């Protein structure tokens, strides 16, 4: 991994103490807003607006949960989910689609998504969903 592809400082030492959530949304404001909400709940968060960068960093970040926007350039959320699921570490991850567009539930299930929600996200609902995900995932 090159210097530009390393995780921000602080991730390594706290990796064992908090649930890790990867947020990927090409709308940087949306990604950062969700990151702030999740950090306030004591999650360790890596928020990215670039799906290709997410594919590169996911293995080293080792998220328990991923929140993926569906409509992204280069690699959309369905392709990113499928990419994660092909790896042993990705099979354990709980992956949730978040989108402002219509979606085909059968396609999302086939791609490997565990759940899907429409934007704008209902924060109390999402917070409850995240709390209910088993800690061994």
DSSP-based helix, strand, coil % in the chain, nearest 5:
45, 20, 35
Alpha carbons 68 and 71: distance in angstroms, whole number: 9
83-129 residue pLDDT tens: 999 999 999 999 999 998 888 899 999 999 999 999 999 999 999 99
15-38 residue pLDDT tens: 445 899 999 999 999 999 999 999
Q: In the chain, what are the domain boundaries? A: 18-131
Q: 18-131: what fold?
A: Rossmann fold (3.40.50)
CA 66 to chain CA centroid, nearest Å: 2
- Supply the pTM of this predicted model: 0.86
Close Cβ partners of 38 (under 8 Å, ≥ 6 residues apart): 21, 23, 45, 130
Per-residue pLDDT at 17: 57
Q: Are 114 and 96 in contact (CB under 8 A)?
A: yes
């Amino acid at each position: 991994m090159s210097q530009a592809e390393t995780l921000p400082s602080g991730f390594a030492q706290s990796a064992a103490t908090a649930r890790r959530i990867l947020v990927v949304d090409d709308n940087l404001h949306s990604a950062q807003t969700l990151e702030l909400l999740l950090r306030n709940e004591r999650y360790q968060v890596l928020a990215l607006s670039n799906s290709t960068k997410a594919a590169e960093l996911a293995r080293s970040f080792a998220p328990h949960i991923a929140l993926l926007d569906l409509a992204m350039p280069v690699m959309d959320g369905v392709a990113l989910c499928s990419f994660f699921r092909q790896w042993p570490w990705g099979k354990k991850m709980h992956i949730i689609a978040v989108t402002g567009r219509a979606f085909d539930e059968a396609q999302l299930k086939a791609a490997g998504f565990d759940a899907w929600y429409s934007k704008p996200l209902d924060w109390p609902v999402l917070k409850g969903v995240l709390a209910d995900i088993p800690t061994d995932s």
